[in-house]
Amino acid sequence: MNRTVIAILLALVCLAGQAKKNVKDQKVPQLLNYPSADMSTLPLHGGEVVIKGHVVAEDAKNIDELNGSVYVLLRNYLVANEETILIDFKSDGTFSLNLQVPYPMFVEVYPLTDIYACPGDTLELTIDTTKPSWQDEGVSVSGTGISGEVSERYEQIRKAYYDKDFGYYEIEDEEEILKWKDIQVAQMDDLVRKMNAGLPELEGCSPMASDILRTRIISENTERILDAIFADVPDDEAVWKSYVDFLVPRERYMLDNPLMMIAADEFFFNRVEICLMSPLMTSLSPTNFSKVILNGLHDKLNLSTTDFSLQVSVLRFLNTMLDFFGRASDTAKDNEVEMVANQAAEVVANTLSDITHPELTRQAVLLYHNYVKKNELPVGEARPVTKGDSIFQRIIEPYKGNVLYVDFWEEHCGPCRAKMLEMRDEVEANKDKPVKFLYITDDPEVMCRHFLEPNNIKGEHIFITKSEWGYLQAKFRFTSIPFVVLFDKKGNQRDNTTVEELLKE
């Protein structure tokens, strides 16, 4: 064989190896020019955002009907807390709200749109109720700074890159769900390549706004892939690993990415927390859970112990633990209160030693500060009476002296109807006892009758307006239904108990 032939063969071998390497590289593309902005230019601390605007309506009655039914849903997803802030519409249709956000974040103006809220900016919303689909096409957003730039582009980005049905609902077979996952990951990799080439919707966008919107696309698609196992994380560790292993080679932008703090949402971190932590739950230690989580995921999946999103999961679990200690303190005897407080302090100290990101450390300190403040408040400290308080007192006034089981529900909600069917026997068994079952809905009575009557749903059925429903949402701070709350015979709200236990008191 002459030298020329040998050289050609060697060249072909090299090309084949390079082609193989390129194919391998293409399987897991990485985001390029990301982040493209200097993160130090964006304030990660909290502050005030002004949300204002006006309503276009046929008459003043249409404007007044919005009060109590339009609100800002503010979720501090780093610690899994949320707050509902009602928007007050004046008679001329104008409104203005000074919103305090814990850091730059997406917030939901329910039921209208999502907006981006960065401290120091102003956002303006126009709500045109004269349009047939006013909750969609009748809403326009503009504003200053990063808030305006992201909010104005967000809806277009959402519809183009992640507003779709992923179609996993009917898949039950584990092998098929793994195949489905692989298809979704491949599509997501194609999306990363598109972002690397440049999305037309981001043309002319500032580097920071581009980073936020690209991160949002990544977080939404990651969330939806995890969502397929969210309700039923595989018990088999091998199957679980096979499903979540797509995160490992993409960890830099899917998980270990501080931009998620200012671009993702509650549902992303909730899916990461549940889908990754579930196999570790049986081995969690109350005082040392952070090490179990971080080291466990490092050992099982080779994820970094300093991974940003994993540390957010630790922070969210810390909030759960502090809630537990708060409830334990409420029911503890005088000689046990100090012991509970010391246990809470020990948990916080151990957790802080495992959190490396400065902003997450600050959030953990604030959590503990709020825990201490809440549990040191004098018993019976007065707070302002809200409109929601007045509405609720009017509803429960006829039932004073009874244990109250209060269920907020709506006719379209399948879990709500299932809960009411599940409660039928208990309602019947307690019909002669001092307990009342109150079912509160903002749906018209005529709409609910076709479900209530054929299914023999007993209890006190209370029908309220959309506005009253909004004020009660703000009072009880709930955003999902069914939402159930219990009250003892003295009218005190009671958590972590049952009707049976309250009747025995």
Contacts of 495 (CB under 8 A, 6+ apart): 327, 486
- Please say whether the beta carbons of 441 and 408 come within 8 A: yes
What is the reported pTM?
Answer: 0.75
**Residue after which a domain boundary falls, among 317, 343, 375:** 375
In 3D, which of 77, 119, 80 has the Cα closest to residue 98? 119
Name the residue type at position 44: L
* Pair 396, 307 in one domain: no
Within-domain flag for 304: yes
* Pair 67, 116 in one domain: yes
* Pair 245, 363 in one domain: yes
Q: What is the pLDDT of residue 169?
A: 67
* Pair 108, 148 in one domain: yes
* CB-count exposure of residue 66 (10 Å: 0-12, 13-18, 19+): buried
* Pair 154, 79 in one domain: yes
**Residue after which a domain boundary falls, among 226, 258, 292:** 226
Q: At what angle do helices 145-161 and 207-230 cross, to 10 degrees?
A: 40
Q: What's 470's DSSP letter?
A: H
Within-domain flag for 147: yes
* Pair 255, 404 in one domain: no
* Pair 260, 166 in one domain: no
3-state percent breakdown (helix, strand, coil) of the chain, nearest 5: 50, 15, 35
Residue 1 CA to residue 399 CA, distance in Å, equals 101
Residue 214 CA to residue 216 CA, distance in Å, equals 5
Count of domains for the chain: 4
Q: What is the pLDDT of residue 379?
A: 43
The domain of 411 spans 387-504
* Pair 265, 217 in one domain: no
Q: What is the pLDDT of residue 437?
A: 94
Within-domain flag for 137: yes
* Pair 215, 232 in one domain: no
Q: What is the pLDDT of residue 298?
A: 94
Residue 163 CA to residue 136 CA, distance in Å, equals 14
Q: What's 463's DSSP letter?
A: E
Q: Tens place of pLDDT for every residue, the chain, 505 residues?
A: 444 444 444 444 444 444 344 433 447 999 999 999 887 777 778 889 999 999 988 887 788 888 888 889 888 888 888 888 888 899 888 999 999 999 999 999 988 889 999 999 999 999 888 887 776 778 899 999 999 999 999 999 999 998 777 777 677 788 888 999 999 999 999 999 999 999 999 999 999 999 999 999 999 999 999 998 888 888 889 999 999 999 999 999 999 999 999 999 999 999 999 999 988 888 777 778 888 899 999 999 999 999 999 999 999 999 888 888 887 777 767 677 778 888 888 888 888 888 989 888 888 888 888 888 877 644 444 455 677 888 898 899 899 899 999 999 998 888 889 899 999 999 999 988 999 999 999 989 998 998 999 999 999 999 998 878 888 888 887 877 889 999 988 888 888 788 888 888 8
Residue 138 CA to residue 131 CA, distance in Å, equals 6
* Pair 367, 412 in one domain: no
* Pair 484, 441 in one domain: yes
Q: What's 233's DSSP letter?
A: -
Residue 40 CA to residue 359 CA, distance in Å, equals 13
Q: What is the pLDDT of residue 435?
A: 92
Tell me how crowded residue 373 is: count the other CB atoms within 10 A of its CB: 9
Within-domain flag for 381: no
In 3D, which of 221, 235, 224 has the Cα closest to residue 174? 235
Query: To which residue do tokens 């969690």 refer?
Result: 284
Q: What is the pLDDT of residue 241?
A: 94
* Pair 15, 105 in one domain: no
Within-domain flag for 84: yes
Within-domain flag for 382: no
Contacts of 407 (CB under 8 A, 6+ apart): 416, 419, 420, 423, 437, 438, 439, 440, 482, 483, 484
Residue 345 CA to residue 372 CA, distance in Å, equals 10
Q: What is the pLDDT of residue 383?
A: 53
Q: β-strand 71-76 against 105-110: which pairing, if any?
A: antiparallel
In 3D, which of 406, 377, 385 has the Cα closest to residue 494? 406
Within-domain flag for 431: yes
**Residue after which a domain boundary falls, among 161, 191, 226:** 226
Within-domain flag for 285: yes
CATH of the domain at 431: 3.40.30.10
